[in-house]
């Protein structure tokens, strides 16, 4: 493996519990039936898509771009009030190991939150380069569509067999597998491992520590 495509939320940042709380809160304010667990099930989709679908399901109508952005900004505001997010436990050791071994580190995320994207190098460590980041702003179709991972693979110039996806969300695993890539899931959230295996994950680890051991043993 030469290039590693890291998902952001739940893989680099321990941000999913706060995302889930912010989603449940903003949806409740707007009258949508949406739990914290729904946020984990939908993880990987862009905020825009989640809101569009919620409005369609509740009110059977197409949401306007303005109302989608208003609700999304409100979700971002609630997210910010919940405090700083920390790196996922053990991920810095994984990144350090890969950097030392001259592997390419990419970020492939549906996130549009500049508060997280712009601060990866200060909050996580000096591992990231903007030219190796695919975000919500770079693609037409977000996860679970394969486009984000296909774009990372295309830009990396490596054959698919040399690329590896690191994901925590079922829809992210689906995206990586649909792109024809090897996908390692690290289950950092509350869903059962089966949700990740069922989407075709090649490996599922309970934490970054086990991922690091596997990387060392297969190097
Ligand atoms: Mg994630």
CA angle, corner 16, sides to 50 and 142, nearest 5?
Answer: 40
Q: Which residues surround ligand 1, an ion (CB under 5 A)?
A: 7, 9-10, 168-169
Among residues 9, 118, 145, 193, the one annotated as catalytic is: 9
How far is residue 84's CA from residue 32's CA, in Å, rounded to a whole number? 27
Residue 38 is among the residues annotated as catalytic for this protein = no
Residues 60-86 have pLDDT tens digits of 999 999 999 999 999 999 999 999 999
Note whether 102 and 2 are within 8 A (CB).
no
Residue 14 is among the residues annotated as catalytic for this protein = no
Determine the 3-state secondary structure of 204 from DSSP.
strand
pTM: 0.93
pLDDT of 101: 97
End-to-end CA distance of the chain: 9
Note whether 23 and 75 are within 8 A (CB).
yes
Among residues 7, 66, 145, 202, the one annotated as catalytic is: 7
With a cut of 70, which residues of the chain have pLDDT below it? none
Q: What mean pLDDT, rounded, does the chain reach?
A: 95
- The 3-class SS string of 19-66 reads HHHHHHHHHHHCCCCCCHHHHHHCECECHHHHHHHHHHHHHCCCCCHH
């Amino acid at each position: 493996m030469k290039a590693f495509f890291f998902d952001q939320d739940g893989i680099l940042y321990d941000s999913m519990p706060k995302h889930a709380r912010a989603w449940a809160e903003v949806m409740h304010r707007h009258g949508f039936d949406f739990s914290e667990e729904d946020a984990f099930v939908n993880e990987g989709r862009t905020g825009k898509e989640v809101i569009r679908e919620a409005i369609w399901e509740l009110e059977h109508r197409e949401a306007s771009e303005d109302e989608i952005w208003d609700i999304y900004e409100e979700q971002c505001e609630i997210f910010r009030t919940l405090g700083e997010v920390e790196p996922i436990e053990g991920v810095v050791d994984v990144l350090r190991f890969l950097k030392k071994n001259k592997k390419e580190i990419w970020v492939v995320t549906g996130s549009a939150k500049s508060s997280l994207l712009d601060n990866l190098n200060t909050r996580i460590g000096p591992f990231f380069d903007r030219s190796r980041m695919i975000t919500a702003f770079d693609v037409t179709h977000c996860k679970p569509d394969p486009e984000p991972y296909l774009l990372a693979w295309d830009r990396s110039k490596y054959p698919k067999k040399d690329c590896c996806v690191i994901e925590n969300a079922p829809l992210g695993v689906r995206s990586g597998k649909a792109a024809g890539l090897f996908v390692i899931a690290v289950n950092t959230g509350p869903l059962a491992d089966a949700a990740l295996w069922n989407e075709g994950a090649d490996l599922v680890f309970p934490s970054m520590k086990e991922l690091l051991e596997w990387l060392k043993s297969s190097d």
